[in-house]
Amino acid sequence: MQIRYAVFTPILCRTQRFNCAINNTRLQMLFTQTVPGAIYLLATVSPRLDRYITLVKAYKMSMELDVFVGNTTIMDMEVYQLWLDGLTVSDAVKVRMDEGALLECEANPEVLTSDTMDQFRTFQMCERLLHSPTKLGSQLLYQIPAQNQIILIERYYEFDSVFAREVLGKKLSKGTKKDLDDISCKTGITLKSCRRQFDNFKRVFKVVEELKGPLVENIQRHFLLSDTLARDYAAIVFFANSRFETGKRKLQYLSFQDFAFCAGQLISYWTIGAMDSMMEDMDVDLEKEFLNELKDLKVLVNDKDMMDQHKILVCAALRGKIKVYKLMEVNFKFIEPCRYDRWTVAEITLFLTHYTNAAHCLGTFRHQMIWDRYMGVIKSCILQMYHE
Amino acid sequence: MPGKLKAKIVAGRHLPVMDRASDLTDAFVEVKFGNTTFKTDVYPKSLNPQWNSEWFKFEVDDEDLQDEPLQITVLDHDTYSANDAIGKVYIDIDPLLSSEAATVISGWFPIYDTIHGIRGEINVLVKVDLFNDLNRFRQSSCGVKFFCTTSIPRCYRAALVHGFVEELVVNEDPEYQWIDRIRTPRASNEARQRLISLMSGELQRKIGLKVLEMGGNAVVGYLQCFDLEGESGLVVRAIGTACTLDKLIPGTASNTITHTNTAPASNACNSPSKEIKESPMAHGCRSSHNSPVHSACSSQRLSHSQNFSVSVPTLVFTGMGSGISVGKEAGPLKTLLRQQAQSALEQREFPFFTLTCFPPGFLVHIGGVVSARSVKLLDRIHNPDEPETRDAWWEEIRQEIKSHAKALGCHAVVGYSESTTICEEVCILSASGTAAMLNPRFMREGCLDAGGSDQRLSRQPPLGMVGSERAEGEVSSSWLGFDDASPPSCGFCHIPYDEFNMPFPAQLTYCYHCRRQKVPDVLFTTIDLPAEAAVTGKGCLIQARLCRTKKKAQGEVNATAISNLLPFMEYELHTQLMNKLKLRCMNALFGLRIQISVGENMLLGLASATGVYLSALPAPGGIQIAGKTPSDLSYDQHISTMQKRINDTIVMNKEFYNIHPPECIEEVVGSPIPDRQRSRLFRSTSESSDELSELDLSHGKKDAFVLEIDDTDAVEDIQSLLTDAPMPAGFYSCNTEVMPGIYNWTSGLQMFTSVRVYRLNNANLTNQGLNKIFTDLCENLLKSLYFKLRSMIPCCLCHLNFTVAVPEEELIQVAVTAVAMSFDKETQLAADKALNKGSGENEEQLQFSMELCGESTSSNNQPTAKPSGLPESAMTHSSSRDRCSTWLELLRLKAHTIRRGSVKTISSSERCSPLPEVRSRSLRSTRSLPCGAPVTVVKMTPLSFLPRTRIVKYLGIINMFFIRETTSLREEGGVSGFLHSFIAEVFAMVRAHVAALGGNAVVSYSMKECVFMENPNKNQAQCLINVSGDAVIFVRESDQEAIPPLITSGQTSTTGADGTT
């Protein structure tokens, strides 16, 4: 990176694109980036400055090397966010200028550029360690306070839900990685940031895919993430593994958080790990046995008698409570119709509760346990997914 | 067979993948000491091998123990081809050889490779069993402790200060051996690293022997440097101060301070003969700086007093044409030596001390800065492999320093240091120090056993006031009975020599503190601010920067050109320092360090120091700009604008640095030079600061420092004066240990190293253009540092020392290692307020100090003869005056006279308001990462202490040398990426070694060398770094059992009255 200065007479003022008044010195900057890696700062000096100095004077000097290393690694978390967002150094400098960084400590653009570059380099050098966060705590190269380590890791693994929504259910493969360009265009997230997020998904997936024990805990143990973030990752891993078709047009309105919630429910109740915490198996896959048992539940739909009986029971229970009662009869596979008819959340809840309970009253229905396990999850999922 | 070294290889972790096929490594370890090598088993297919080896035992002489490092190599086993080296660890086992240092080395060490950097870590255990051997000290000097710290280490007391020790060893540089053409860069780098490690060990052992000979047991202020001379060899040299240190018994240390005042007032060893000889009353006063240049064909010596009325330069032309001298002319030196007879100090060859901080009472008077430089040609060394020639060079320089000190009426040099700069075959040797009179008591055997002395010598920081150390001023009363005692707070400012026989005319006044003795108007020193000094306001970093172009030349022509430029550069630097000092309304410089660096086509000069306002010295006058030529209106206007800006700046600075000298009633006694003598009564009644600044300005107009605008240099001076950006709010900076005026440090600190290299693209730059660039460069670096560290506000950057170099044509390299320490704003404000309020209590204080003065001076108020030794050298100087009239003319043209501005007496520094214990602000996280034992946090600081902590043990010296090279510069992030990771690696290795010794901090850390070379076209770069420091264990103050009553900062000194809370 080269920084060149040229001091011009005030006439040039008009061409400036970027203004910044630095305290009282009234230095105005023209900020252009004509050649990659070279920033040209054209400064106009106001006549207030000593007129004996306002000679047109251009001198050349370029910084060949600029390094700052602290015994405790200094990290500016605001700059870290800019780096994570995939900004270039010059864009980051602009953002920082806009945010008023120049007002701090009598900085000038050169100082800011130097600082930003230095910080970006530091993050880049730490990135390798962030790929296996447990190493960050035991490595000797950078002395980073434990608090900062936690923030570094957490922020590095944070992702944009818009991005996650796009990738959800897709195979975390090279093929998908190639599509990141499109996702970047669509979401407005820089390609660099997309890559980082995608690689994070892939990395976490690879590590925990084959691991036994509870998924969330595994993620936490290996990536030292907060509980919330680890749960989100569990959802991503879960979807990446089971590849639900989240891309369907009908499901477009659903956000990542909706899916994450559902995945959480599924993991909690429908996987092997959920039923028997002692069992040394994984949370990633749904319990096969359970899925087989679910087939038995189809009797509720397939068997005309039982379905009618169930319907009657549910309707009886709800009579008078819900205005849209009549419509309901036909709507046993739901959300869309409900949305269409503008049910309230309360109404849905009520309906689902009775729907569940009614099944118990069916004399011929024998799969009570499975039914409860199924409906519990379905109910909460539906409620989560039921929104605009 | 006096020693057995045992090593055990426990485990490795984070190893690199050496086998691409399996993504794993089959690692094993070779452990080598001397010529013996052991190997561990191969631990197959793992990146985290658990070797858990047996104890490898080496039976060796202790001589080898001192010289050799333990060398551990981690390799990847390969069945079919040669085993690949993963990296190495060198462990210096010296700390294990002293009974008081570490007992075991155990911990994780980064595995380092000169091409790839750090590649994983290895856990090692090392122990040493030393056998008692009567013959033990013949070749080895096991047990002698080394300290980089330039003061008496904190858990010791100095029983005796023996004096200067030096040593120098030479070897062929492996990089210049024929074999280097055929071996790999890695092999060559490793050979170099190993050689320097060996040479350092040898050097330390030899110095240790000298110390034992002198009867000491430790070296304090140990400064080791290496010179990469290129073809002519590789020199490792070291200087230090030999001492006999006694370990303080923990627990008593904190009590001692309170006892001080009960110490007996006089010591048995006050032999009357000494008193007469060293009676201070005979010494006049002068502050001066000598900047001699000794070059081969002309030996020029130039001295000028700090006020720059240069009239008696010690300029000696020895005649031309003798060629470049490579030997030493010992003749005249011996005669000089003979003149010194009686004093304990003068019996020594070089009464030099590398210390910069002294026990109170040690320094009697300070003369001024003495320095010497010498330009040498490396390709003229007759037998480059032998140290004799270099020894002779340094001897010559030291003699010069010694004679300069004598000329200043001083018998010793303190804060002494040596340095070199090399460009091709030209080498400049430099030495500098502060001429001083010392209390001989500390140099005499058996004198310090008397009660109370230990308190004076121990530098145990008073609890609650760590960092400020002002409490040591408290001991003053116990010193009153001494021969040369003056009130300790101002004693060191008093002139050390005869005022009627000054080689330089200087402005003398009676001390503003005791009013008994004379003080100079300005004082320059290379030492830290003495603990007992009374200071008004705060200090600040002052830098003078200079760039001079030089024609490219070779050999003698080049050497001559350089030696001709040097005196001008020194002069310019001093002028700049002086101007900047006045602009900040200060009157003394501490920690002055002038570095001159040679490049092929330019010379760089950088002087850094910490400016302060010493209460004992007169207030500085302002700066006045004068136009020489009859001028038109606009020109006058210009000048008056400039003048106004300067005046405004001075007023602003006074406010900023809180310099509000209390108003005073004082008569000014003129200097002994009759035409300048004036007597003036100055009275002012108002106490307000506004009044004061007004006062100063008026004086600025009358008799200020005059800058003549016609002089192009002066224009430059003014520009540089005014372009120095003020520090951002919340920041202070200094290049000394601590900042005068700040006492309430928190434990928050951040040590950092910053390196910048600039390329000058314009080939034909003028001196002025270059200067501007160089100044901007330094200013920008400072600005960047402030910005980087803004989260620590309010804070002070301490030990801010820049190192400049010209690594290649048109490249300028600036490196800085310093520490940012935050302080508590609220308590600081309180302290400042107390300070200002204190002025009201002046009278009381004054009375007390007057009493003390009377007491002290009554006994020895007889004027005695001028000190021996001085007259002769003074005479020589004056006789040489005529010979160099042209030279003088030149200097006179630029000469400025300084006259005193307003006048003040006593500092009101009653900072005794008990500062509330400030809780440490450490950011300890409660949430720990679940990954095995956490890495020990190791603090690093270039200072000798850590605020709010107490050092309980010194574990040994850290002295490490690393080389890093790359052939894939772009891939490693370019030059910045390369150097960034290398410096981080060096820090990591230092921390690991300290942690393995059981320590948690490095004090007195310094990066003594950072040689960076690049070849971007070949995608290559190489860097050499040499670092050193003292590994210590510290405990937080809050961890200590009971907190004894706080001691006042008592920087006031003046009274010796303790303001214990």
* Interface touch A59/B762, C-beta < 8 Å: yes
For residues B522-527, give the mean pLDDT. Answer: 90
B627 by Cβ neighbours in 10 Å (0-12 / 13-18 / 19+) ranks as middle
Q: Which residues of A, range 111-130, sit inside 8 Å of B by Cβ?
A: 111-112, 114-115, 117-118, 121-122, 124-125
pLDDT at B29: 95
Tokens of B636: 């006058």
pLDDT at B1026: 94
On whether any CB of chain A is under 8 Å from the CB of B406, the answer is no
pLDDT at B836: 53
B896 pLDDT tier (thresholds 50, 70, 90) = very low
| Nearest neighbour of A66 by CB, restricted to B765, B932, B976 | B976
| B719–chain A nearest CA distance, Å | 9
Residue B621 scores a pLDDT above 80? no
**DSSP one-letter string for B730-781:** TEEE-SSSS-TT---EEEEEEEEEEEEEEEE--SS--HHHHHHHHHHHHHHH
For the ranges A219-228, B513-522, B553-562, which has the lowest average pLDDT? B513-522
Smallest Cα–Cα separation from B869: which of B162, B314, B343? B343
Question: How does pLDDT run across A206-232, given as a tens digit for each residue?
Answer: 888 777 777 888 888 889 999 888 888
Question: How does pLDDT run across B123-166, given as a tens digit for each residue?
Answer: 999 998 877 655 544 566 777 889 999 988 888 888 888 889 99
Residues of B in contact with A223 (CB under 8 A): none
Residues of A in contact with B925 (CB under 8 A): 145-147, 150
* Interface touch B762/A60, C-beta < 8 Å: yes
Q: Are B587 and B523 in contact (CB under 8 A)?
A: yes
Could you give the dihedral angle defined by the CA atoms of residues A177, A182, A187 and A191, in that order, rounded to the nearest 10 degrees? 50
pLDDT at B856: 35
| Nearest neighbour of A121 by CB, restricted to B753, B928, B980 | B980
For the ranges B197-201, B823-827, B876-880, which has the lowest average pLDDT? B876-880
- In sequence order, the 6+-apart residues with CB closer than 8 A to the CB of B785 are A68, B752, B754, B797, B816, B818
* Interface touch A140/B988, C-beta < 8 Å: yes
| Nearest neighbour of A69 by CB, restricted to B725, B984, B992 | B984
* Interface touch A74/B984, C-beta < 8 Å: no
B668 pLDDT tier (thresholds 50, 70, 90) = very low
- The Cα B837–Cα B831 span in angstroms is 10
pLDDT at A9: 29
- B496 vs B594, residue with greater confidence: B594
For the ranges B387-401, B551-565, B704-718, B940-954, which has the lowest average pLDDT? B704-718
- In sequence order, the 6+-apart residues with CB closer than 8 A to the CB of A132 are A222
- The Cα B107–Cα B118 span in angstroms is 16
B860 pLDDT tier (thresholds 50, 70, 90) = very low
What ipTM is given for this predicted complex?
0.75
Residue in A closest to B771 by C-alpha? A59
On whether any CB of chain A is under 8 Å from the CB of B113, the answer is no
Kindly state the percentage of chain B with pLDDT values over 90.
25
On whether any CB of chain A is under 8 Å from the CB of B127, the answer is no
- B646 vs B855, residue with greater confidence: B646
Best residue in A61, A112, A130, A222 for a mutation probing chain B (most B CBs within 10 Å): A61
pLDDT at B868: 37
pLDDT at A92: 93
- B267 vs A108, residue with greater confidence: A108
B221 pLDDT tier (thresholds 50, 70, 90) = very high
* Interface touch A147/B769, C-beta < 8 Å: no
| A202–chain B nearest CA distance, Å | 19
Q: Are B343 and B444 in contact (CB under 8 A)?
A: no
pLDDT at A375: 66
pLDDT at B902: 29
* Interface touch A140/B754, C-beta < 8 Å: no
Residue in B closest to A126 by C-alpha? B981
Strand order in the sheet with A38-45: A2-8, A38-45, A27-35
Q: Are A379 and A371 in contact (CB under 8 A)?
A: no
Smallest Cα–Cα separation from B214: which of B244, B170, B249, B174? B244
Residue B334 scores a pLDDT above 90? no
B269 pLDDT tier (thresholds 50, 70, 90) = very low
pLDDT at A237: 80
CA atoms lying within 13 Å on the CB side of residue A329: 9
- The Cα B466–Cα B743 span in angstroms is 8
For the ranges B14-28, B410-424, B655-669, B896-910, which has the lowest average pLDDT? B896-910
B33 pLDDT tier (thresholds 50, 70, 90) = very high
Kindly state the percentage of chain B with pLDDT values over 70.
65
On whether any CB of chain B is under 8 Å from the CB of A137, the answer is yes
Residue B353 scores a pLDDT above 70? yes
Smallest Cα–Cα separation from B913: which of B564, B464, B481, B557? B464
Q: Which residues of A, range 141-180, sit inside 8 Å of B by Cβ?
A: 141-143, 145-147, 149-150
Question: How does pLDDT run across B909-934, given as a tens digit for each residue?
Answer: 333 333 333 333 333 333 333 344 67
Residue in B closest to A144 by C-alpha? B937
| B825–chain A nearest CA distance, Å | 17
On whether any CB of chain A is under 8 Å from the CB of B935, the answer is yes
For residues B56-67, give the mean pLDDT. Answer: 84
pLDDT at A272: 56
Core vs surface per residue B786-805: b (16+ CB within 10 A) or e: bbbbbebbbbbbbbbbbbbb
- A349 vs B459, residue with greater confidence: A349
Residue B429 scores a pLDDT above 60? yes
Core vs surface per residue B448-480: b (16+ CB within 10 A) or e: beeebbbbbbbbbbbbbbbbbbbbbbbbbbbbb
